[in-house]
Amino acid sequence: MARTPREPNRLSSPRRVAGSVDDPAELAPAVSRPLVAWFKKTARDLPWRQTKDAYRIWVSEVMLQQTQVKTVIGYFHAFLDLFPTMKALAAAPEEKVLRAWEGLGYYRRARNLHAAAKMLVKHGHDNLPPDPVLLSTLPGMGEYTRNAVLSQAHGLALPIIEANSQRVLCRILGVQDDPARGPVKKWLWQSAAKLVCHSDPSAYNQALMELGALVCTPQKPGCLICPARPWCSASKTGEPESIPLKSERPAITRVWEVCMAACSGSGTHRCWLLFRRPATASRWAGLWEFAHQPMSQRDTPRDALYSLIQQLFPSDKPVETWNAGKVQHAITRYQVKLRVEVAQWEGKPAPQLTEHDAWAWLSPAEIATLPLSAPQRRVWEMVSAMPF
């Protein structure tokens, strides 16, 4: 029996604006040269642009993932004050690295940075070598981060694609498709490789990111002042903000949790019970936190608090409890509201085993040295400022 021919997958390559060049290589170096010239004339004075040190560029690129430039600048300086070299970072304990990262979020970035530094130092490197194959084996070293470091520090003509440069490339090349789709992403990387400026890949790659951050913005792009306008397919449509297509965002789910800040003692001798999340946790691994758990729709805040107390201390009860306030934060598609309750204990009872790695009754001075997530740090600031 003859097989029916399979219909070709029309989504194997991106949909594009009519009239876009067939081969992106046709636009090089016509596009790359004005982009490099524009960048050298208008680039922002950012600290990681004042160095060719691969380690410092690497730290900046990891910090800049999903974090705004203005936020990163302060962390960048503080982090390098603590860990001025890759060897210093590799030698540091993980808790110190996480504490330095506190507030930046996405802590897996810090753990991967630390682990990769230790791997490189172990194999005799005191900085990141110009070796794409070796760097690809490091934890957290994706293609973008690797190529950004190698092009900026070592001058290798490698392409980059992150949020801003992806938008710029999609608009120049007229990609009317979702760049999150695998085939589109692959095509964009292949096309980006054809456009890299071999004479100055560092300036070219940074120009793409700078253009996306300052001019070719998601909404109301500044086409009239864009150096790539003569070759931009999206600009010619009159509706550049419609490119690229975006996947529909998932709906926000609202979650209530009760958080118990257990304390013991008084005055300068007061201490607090915190738990360390396991190294295998999917979120905030290795960070310390107060006990907390979700509340069901049927729970009152007091019911939820005493349910948590019963789980941790089935044979012991606090002498007093009172509400401290609320802390709200967002995690991907979840909006979480923590109702913070303080529970005072006479002694320092040992909690029942939980999924955490460790627990301890800690002084305020000790808590100050430990890494906490941003919402848990706000909980600590709230309860530690309460008049007792």
- Phi first, then psi: give them for residue 95, nearest 5 degrees: -60, -35
Residue 119 · residue 138 · CB < 8 Å: yes
Q: Are residues 233 and 257 in the same domain?
A: no
Residue 375 · residue 295 · CB < 8 Å: no
* Per-residue CA distances from 229 to 22, 56, 178 (Å): 18, 33, 22
Q: Are residues 265 and 235 in the same domain?
A: no
Place of tokens 């490698």: 158
The CATH number covering residue 318 comes to 3.90.79.10
Q: Is the dihedral of CA 368, 369, 373, 376 positive or negative?
A: negative
Q: Are residues 257 and 236 in the same domain?
A: no
Does residue 10 lie in a domain region?
no
pLDDT of residue 212: 97
pLDDT of residue 89: 98
**For residue 43, what are its two tokens?**
């680039």
Alpha carbons 329 and 378: distance in angstroms, whole number: 10
Q: Are residues 258 and 182 in the same domain?
A: no
Q: Are residues 258 and 216 in the same domain?
A: no
List pLDDT tens digits, range 43-101: 999 999 999 999 999 999 999 998 999 999 999 999 999 999 999 999 999 999 999 99
Residue 157 · residue 201 · CB < 8 Å: yes
The CATH number covering residue 178 comes to 1.10.340.30
pLDDT of residue 8: 37
Does residue 62 lie in a domain region?
yes
Q: How many domains does the chain have?
A: 2
**For residue 72, what are its two tokens?**
């990163």
Q: Are residues 232 and 160 in the same domain?
A: yes
From 61, 102, 210, 341, the catalytic residue: 61
Which residues does the chain have with pLDDT short of 50? 1-11
Alpha carbons 12 and 20: distance in angstroms, whole number: 17
Helices (H), 196-340: 201-214, 233-237, 301-312
Q: Is the dihedral of CA 292, 295, 299, 301 positive or negative?
A: positive
Residue 379 · residue 259 · CB < 8 Å: yes
Q: Are residues 51 and 198 in the same domain?
A: yes
Does residue 180 lie in a domain region?
yes
Q: Are residues 229 and 293 in the same domain?
A: no
Q: Are residues 238 and 271 in the same domain?
A: no
* Domain limit, last residue, from 178, 213, 242: 242
Q: Are residues 122 and 70 in the same domain?
A: yes
Alpha carbons 317 and 305: distance in angstroms, whole number: 11
Does residue 4 lie in a domain region?
no
Q: Which domain holds residue 199?
A: 24-242
Residue 85 · residue 126 · CB < 8 Å: yes
Does residue 19 lie in a domain region?
no
Helices (H), 83-181: 86-91, 94-101, 108-122, 132-136, 143-154, 163-173
Does residue 374 lie in a domain region?
yes
pLDDT of residue 1: 37
Alpha carbons 286 and 94: distance in angstroms, whole number: 8
Q: Are residues 257 and 238 in the same domain?
A: no
- The residue type found at 94 is E
Specify whether 61 is catalytic. yes
pLDDT of residue 11: 41
Does residue 5 lie in a domain region?
no
Place of tokens 């306030």: 325
* Domain limit, last residue, from 242, 266, 287: 242
Of the candidates 48, 23, 80, the one whose C-alpha atom is nearest the C-alpha of residue 202 is 48
List pLDDT tens digits, range 157-213: 999 999 999 999 999 999 999 999 999 999 999 999 999 999 999 999 999 999 999
Does residue 17 lie in a domain region?
no
* Domain limit, last residue, from 188, 215, 242: 242
Beta strands in 265-355 (DSSP E): 271-276, 288-289, 291-294, 320-331, 334-345
Q: Are residues 166 and 44 in the same domain?
A: yes
